[in-house]
Structure 1
């Protein structure tokens, strides 16, 4: 689950949707002139919508709700809804930072209007939760496609499954496809890591958990507001140095995180060891990165080519990193020679 987000990221209270009057949540966009609400057209003609998400959940159609997992900002369940297996995510108020958990719910919907093979599809989301389906600690509920019970973190560190070159190249290509699509629509994820990439029963990777995401336009990429919103968001082991320094948000922050994730796929090792504060300092001040030069996984010709790609992805200068499209092209070339 995402790290707490500062109060400055939140909408003014007077334009939040109210549970009492039955208004439901919508994605947020950050533009140079402020925040806007994007209210989707409701289309749910007797079955789960395939193109647009709905701001209404038909609660009586939920069946067989079973817990799957939980985290600091909510719980995830498997359920049957209108004839389909779905994932139900209930976002709860964080006792220490209720405003941050509310913003996490809204951020989850930044990519709700997008449809792509490598992004978890949102079916419906609402802040209107009946008493018999929620509790006082619930902010809202999101229905998503049910991808499966595995994430990339489990695949990498579970130990039982083989993770050969052809497989990690395919997984990383899936993630790059998803990132390229998100970035083309102005969405930055800001928390790319193995635990936030789900692996389907068909062995396809899908980017999930948009609780740290931000919708950008060209006017706000380098603004000081963007920097204040982002530098505490995400997971410290995968966070780009410019975000650690409080600088502006851009899609290149996701490329840095992707580089750390790709290294984990190749090596099946943790990226860093030692004290958290030391890692944070060393990443910024001394360009600390996971080991490539001395790791056996990078001694082959393919390994050296991947090492070169990683060096570009986690460059200290965001402008020196490749785009998601460039990363994808590089990975496709590597796959052609496997």
Structure 2
């Protein structure tokens, strides 16, 4: 429906809404005149919705109070004993229950409503959708789905979810008198949960304080994905129209596009979180929609600018004597960055909000650390454009008078306006393509990287996105921002082609070429001396990837040069921005790679290799330990700490091959810590393929060292079998992922070594090593420039030769010895 027709709908609705029902039809016919059935039908939809929602706009819910939910006919549903009713929502009633066989386990049992009405099919479809969505969401800050089923006696479908004991977000912060800083840190945990859901292509669509409970440990839990929808599906006819779907929304927190019946996206959740944060910080809502009619609510949310947060502070629970002081203090904290962050989240147009929850959370982090934020107030030109759209008639009339007075000059002005508008449209299209390319590179690529079998599609996405950015560069060659984005694109496609220890296509030369392109752009930007900090940040990341790749290619001196450059840049940035934790995170990774290069560079004497490696790995561990002590430490900091312990465990095991009991004990201790951390991460996110891969790899490395001392080899072999099964599964699910193929080969290699060292059934060890050789030969043939494949294949031939010799097969022993010598 066009804006003109929609305005007509609102006008007619306002005229007839308060008339007695007996007079409405006649008034509607007269008012709509010759405008046809479309307008009349839309007004009728609004009237129906208004009847259902008229008494409900108290800011809490727009679920009709007449729609009561019948209690179940029995106190047992499936395998659960119903204890009491704890709430009702858009899909059904929620009961506190417990498992019949586990009385101590309390659960929240949601039963689909069954009290009649003509929308049962729609409700059932939504119920099935909720089952599908919740089963895919596994996050510590999202209430978990435990069970689903149907109670046959009453034909009652039900969901069983984690029961969360807590207080809603707003009340929790009020009752605990949290400071603004504490509120923001708590809110960022909520952002993390919503961002996780978005990475699974799920939009919540009904975020509000009552759907966010905070427990005694100050951990938020996100509830009720009952009206979420998968981003990849369409809504269907039942949710089309402007207000016809509003019965499943909460007006205080619903976005303009939801009221307009437009496409819902992640920007919808950005808006709702913006409203929640606004209320959290000010005690008020950006709009007053209490006791408003449905059309008034839609108009306010879609057309009226929200109050500036620093002007909206209220604390009804405070004594009158302290309110003024509290308002002045809070307004001072809100004014500036937080005003801008909140108002950006609440913009009417989805494309002008934060493009992701991560960006909103990142701006809050930067504010907390005293760094510049990306949110800026609306500029005059934008406000002027909106004014013209709202007052088009008056502006046109004034323009006609102006044209009459100025004649020919006015004609020239019209041409200028048209040219400017065309330029704006071109810029808009340019930025849309650019945003799409960046979404593909950052949002979708990063989400897919965690999933099995995604390497090929990631390669296609990144390649296409890079092509778009390449084309755009030709249009705006002097745009430094675009050049940086292009460098980031080359970095990302290099990662997909050949990033070490992560899913990649095994195209080492392609990766090296694209990393080189990214480095070249960074160096050009450095010479232009624009936004030096951002460029230096990106350059250090490119240098790190180049260093890691050169290690795998066996070019250790070149790797060290790249990595030392990266370390110098990051150390300088850390001095400039001491509160920016990302610099320390990258430095820890650089130290690990410097240790890898030093410990494997055979130009140095063996004891020098070991000592240099230990020095770098211990430096990495010290840095990562400091990161883990920070308030916003996360999974990636745990990963870095685990990697440092793993490297130290490995290098001390090398040192302990000489008579050195202390080094052996140190090796086992570091391996134990690495295994604990990797195991914890894998347990937190069982579908994160990187975490599963790292845990399996660590089990294998630890098993080989433990096999040298343990009398019983059974537990060691059990770890090997479990790790091998994981790595085989990853490799089988993603044939394009050469890193996964290499991991599977090394699993066979390591397990074979354990068997050989234990002097158990040597034929099993030979068979496993043959499987490793088969994969390594294929990988080496496909990528002959990769030193790591070649070296491990040589070692595998050597080990096979030794095992065949031990088994008495001298012919095959000589055959594989000859193959090893060929390298």
In structure 1, C-alpha distance between the alignment counterparts of 2:126 and 2:239, rounded to whole Å: 17
Residues 1:99 and 2:117 are matched in the alignment: no
- Contact 1:174–1:206 (Cα < 8 Å) also in 2: no
Which of 277, 283, 298 is 1:280 aligned to?
298
In structure 2, C-alpha distance between the alignment counterparts of 1:228 and 1:207, rounded to whole Å: 27
Change in Cα spacing, 1:73 to 1:325, as seen in structure 2 (3 Å) is same
Residues 1:75 and 2:93 are matched in the alignment: yes
- How far the C-alpha of 1:302 sits from its partner, in A, is 4.9
Residues 1:332 and 2:365 are matched in the alignment: yes
Look up the match of 1:113. 136
Look up the match of 2:481. none
Look up the match of 2:167. 150
Where does the alignment leave 5 or more consecutive residues of structure 1 unmatched? 5-56
In structure 2, C-alpha distance between the alignment counterparts of 1:231 and 1:71, rounded to whole Å: 15
Residues 1:310 and 2:342 are matched in the alignment: yes
In structure 1, C-alpha distance between the alignment counterparts of 2:61 and 2:130, rounded to whole Å: 10
- How far the C-alpha of 1:240 sits from its partner, in A, is 1.2
Residues 1:228 and 2:229 are matched in the alignment: no
Change in Cα spacing, 1:276 to 1:146, as seen in structure 2 (3 Å) is same
Aligned partner of residue 238 in structure 1, secondary structure: coil
- Identify, as 1 or 2, the structure richer in helix: 2
Change in Cα spacing, 1:315 to 1:226, as seen in structure 2 (3 Å) is farther
Residues 1:268 and 2:318 are matched in the alignment: no
Cα deviation, 1:18-68, whole Å, max 9, x if unaligned, reads: xxxxxxxxxxxxxxxxxxxxxxxxxxxxxxxxxxxxxxx9934x3573332
Look up the match of 1:66. 84
Q: How does 1:10-159 map to 2 (within 5 A)?
A: 59-60=78-79, 62-63=80-81, 65-71=83-89, 73-81=91-99, 82=102, 83-93=104-114, 95-96=116-117, 97-109=119-131, 110-126=133-149, 128-131=150-153, 135=154, 138=156, 140-155=157-172
- Contact 1:107–1:210 (Cα < 8 Å) also in 2: no
In structure 2, C-alpha distance between the alignment counterparts of 1:122 and 1:235, rounded to whole Å: 23
Q: How does 1:107-256 map to 2 (within 5 A)?
A: 107-109=129-131, 110-126=133-149, 128-131=150-153, 135=154, 138=156, 140-155=157-172, 160-217=175-232, 228=240, 232=246, 233-256=248-271
- How far the C-alpha of 1:129 sits from its partner, in A, is 0.7
In structure 1, C-alpha distance between the alignment counterparts of 2:287 and 2:61, rounded to whole Å: 19
- Contact 2:91–2:123 (Cα < 8 Å) also in 1: yes
In structure 2, C-alpha distance between the alignment counterparts of 1:90 and 1:282, rounded to whole Å: 35
TM-score calculated relative to the size of structure 1: 0.70
Where does the alignment leave 5 or more consecutive residues of structure 2 unmatched? 1-59, 64-75, 314-326, 371-630, 632-823
- Contact 1:93–1:101 (Cα < 8 Å) also in 2: no
Aligned partner of residue 237 in structure 1, secondary structure: coil
Change in Cα spacing, 1:224 to 1:103, as seen in structure 2 (3 Å) is closer
- Contact 2:211–2:224 (Cα < 8 Å) also in 1: yes
In structure 2, C-alpha distance between the alignment counterparts of 1:160 and 1:293, rounded to whole Å: 22
In structure 1, C-alpha distance between the alignment counterparts of 2:183 and 2:238, rounded to whole Å: 33
Look up the match of 1:295. 312
Aligned partner of residue 328 in structure 1, secondary structure: helix
- Identify, as 1 or 2, the structure richer in strand: 1
TM-score calculated relative to the size of structure 2: 0.31
Cα deviation, 1:157-179, whole Å, max 9, x if unaligned, reads: xx543232133212311221011
Aligned partner of residue 203 in structure 1, secondary structure: coil
- How far the C-alpha of 1:313 sits from its partner, in A, is 0.7
Aligned residues: 273
- Contact 1:263–1:290 (Cα < 8 Å) also in 2: no
In structure 2, C-alpha distance between the alignment counterparts of 1:225 and 1:208, rounded to whole Å: 27
| RMSD of aligned Cα (Å) | 3.1
In structure 2, C-alpha distance between the alignment counterparts of 1:225 and 1:66, rounded to whole Å: 36
Whichever of the two has the greater Rg, that structure is 2
- Contact 2:206–2:250 (Cα < 8 Å) also in 1: yes
Higher mean alpha-carbon deviation, 146-155 vs 224-233, is at 224-233
Cα deviation, 1:250-288, whole Å, max 9, x if unaligned, reads: 11011111100111111222443341432321221x234
Structure of higher RCO (CA pairs closer than 8 Å, 6+ residues apart): 1
- How far the C-alpha of 1:149 sits from its partner, in A, is 4.4
In structure 2, C-alpha distance between the alignment counterparts of 1:200 and 1:226, rounded to whole Å: 37
In structure 2, C-alpha distance between the alignment counterparts of 1:70 and 1:335, rounded to whole Å: 37
In structure 2, C-alpha distance between the alignment counterparts of 1:213 and 1:73, rounded to whole Å: 12
Aligned partner of residue 95 in structure 2, secondary structure: strand
Aligned partner of residue 339 in structure 2, secondary structure: helix
- How far the C-alpha of 1:224 sits from its partner, in A, is 8.5
In structure 1, C-alpha distance between the alignment counterparts of 2:275 and 2:122, rounded to whole Å: 26
Cα deviation, 1:212-258, whole Å, max 9, x if unaligned, reads: 110012xx57x986972895342122111122112212110111111
- How far the C-alpha of 1:80 sits from its partner, in A, is 2.9
In structure 1, C-alpha distance between the alignment counterparts of 2:121 and 2:84, rounded to whole Å: 28
- Contact 1:227–1:243 (Cα < 8 Å) also in 2: no
